[in-house]
């Protein structure tokens, strides 16, 4: 005799209930995803509004680093950004361009420091030589040939360059003087004084009590080797402008 198993009404009701719950869950899932997406977008939009259109994270302070005192104040005056401007909307490239117009500034970079500071990092020009102009004024010039100020007295260790034979120093003559100091070894360059430039091909200077006729920019290494050897002599004048045939007297 065989028996057929029958499911109780309670079991049938339980299965049907689970089926309906799964079906409802499947129908609700897309709506939940959509709602979550809407909430995320709303949060992002709110954050963007706070960042870009309110003063919550607006400009409160300009910090100048790399220089101090009066120079820092002059740089800060070039930062034309209204207080309260959302920091994220500040055009840092425009600020850099404005600060770079100051002749004493060699390089500049600008970055944001949250929550409300704009940092202006300045690299100032450094004096390489001081040029004595025809009126007797001392003009400070950096290693690239840019004049960026006048002084009453040359800074310590910075040689004074005088143009001879003309009313003012021509650019090529100025470059010849800078090339000399760049090409000389540090131990010699630091002792150069009374640097005179007649032309780009005739640079003379005083070194360890000797008057040195250097000439132009050509063959600096060979000239240096010859000069070192002749500095040990008692010659008052050392001419290495033609290093293969140096002259002393």
Segments making up each domain of the chain, as ranges: 10-53, 61-124, 129-248
50-109: pLDDT as tens digits: 444 455 668 999 999 999 999 999 999 999 999 999 998 899 999 999 999 999 999 999
Q: Which CATH class, in words, describes the domain spanning 61-124? A: alpha beta
| Range 136-159 average pLDDT | 92
Percent of the chain with pLDDT over 70: 76
- The CA dihedral of 45, 47, 51, 56, to the nearest 10 degrees, is 130
161-197: pLDDT as tens digits: 998 866 567 888 899 999 999 999 999 998 998 899 9
For the chain, give the mean pLDDT: 84
CATH 3.40.50.11690 fits 129-248, yes or no: yes
């Amino acid at each position: 005799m065989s028996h057929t198993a029958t499911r109780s009404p309670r079991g049938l009701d339980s299965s049907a209930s689970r089926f309906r719950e799964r079906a409802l869950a499947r129908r609700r899932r897309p709506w939940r995803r959509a709602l979550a997406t809407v909430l995320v977008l709303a949060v992002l939009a709110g954050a963007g509004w706070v960042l870009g259109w309110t003063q919550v994270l607006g400009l409160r302070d300009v910090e100048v680093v790399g220089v101090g005192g009066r120079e820092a104040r002059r740089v800060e005056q070039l930062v034309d950004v209204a207080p309260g401007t959302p920091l994220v909307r500040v055009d840092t490239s425009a600020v850099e361009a404005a600060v770079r117009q100051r002749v004493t500034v060699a390089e500049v970079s600008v970055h944001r420091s949250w929550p409300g500071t704009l940092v202006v990092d300045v690299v100032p020009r450094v004096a390489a030589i001081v040029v004595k102009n025809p009126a007797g004024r001392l003009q400070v010039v950096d290693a690239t040939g840019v004049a960026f100020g006048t002084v009453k007295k040359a800074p310590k260790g910075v040689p004074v360059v005088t143009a001879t034979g003309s009313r003012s120093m021509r650019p090529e003559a100025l470059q010849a003087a800078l090339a000399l100091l760049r090409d000389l070894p540090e131990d010699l360059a630091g002792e150069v004084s009374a640097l005179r430039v007649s032309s780009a091909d005739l640079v003379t200077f005083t070194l360890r009590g000797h008057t040195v006729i250097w000439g132009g920019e050509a063959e600096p290494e060979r000239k240096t080797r010859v000069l070192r050897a002749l500095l040990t002599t008692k010659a008052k004048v050392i001419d290495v402008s033609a290093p293969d045939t140096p002259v002393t007297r």
